[in-house]
Chains A and B, each alone.
Chain A
Amino acid sequence: GQNIDQPTEMTATEGAIVQINCTYQTSGFNGLFWYQQHAGEAPTFLSYNVLDGLEEKGRFSSFLSRSKGYSYLLLKELQMKDSASYLCVYNQGGKLIFGQGTELSVKP
């Protein structure tokens, strides 16, 4: 089967750190993406993990454990503009399977 679970909503304070968790179950897996999507706009690429471990890119980091079917996105030094939906997505041989998204609200 194909299943992705991530929290529906999260709230954090400007300047803080937030971790968005994602678990997945799949019979075929090529890698895991995280995308950011502002309301009414296209998803934009944040990270892609193929192997286990942590990938760091500026204020954003993403972690993958293939054996546990688990990933997280870590956002540091939160800014108001980080308020958006964060989509956990796995790549199944070129077909992207999206979670429902986590709506992050950053408060002053």
Chain B
Amino acid sequence: DAGVTQSPTHLIKTRGQHVTLRCSPISGHKSVSWYQQVLGQGPQFIFQYYEKEERGRGNFPDRFSARQFPNYSSELNVNALLLGDSALYLCASSLEGQGNYGYTFGSGTRLTVV
């Protein structure tokens, strides 16, 4: 079985541009969460989706948005990119929304904003 897959693996964008990151969870997992990890820090929660509904949102500006599709894959969108958005964006897949069965992370998308 495939694990959590994220695309693209690396991305370079210019300030002010828009970016879409994609995540496919483990087959059978219904929850997807997004995290931002800046170099030297632990990941920060951005969004959680369960059964296509948003269950939680972290302390990020409205430039960040996400959605989950009927097949449980997810997209993270960031508008009006800033230099500070440069980070590793991680997607985590879980069976249900409470995390009682653990989380599996994808390898991440490394976003560089120049």
Contacts and interface: CB of A to CB of B under 8 A. Distances in A.
Interface of A: 4, 30-31, 33, 35, 40-45, 48, 50, 87, 89, 91, 93-101
A69 B92 CA distance: 25
A97 B107 contact: no
A43 B43 contact: yes
Nearest to B104: A45
B81 interface: no
Interface residues of B, number: 30
Contacts of A33: 102-103
Interface of B: 31, 33, 35, 40-45, 48, 50, 55-56, 58, 88, 90, 92, 94, 97-100, 102-108, 110
B81 to A, nearest CB: 21
Contacts of A30: 98-100
A97 B100 contact: no
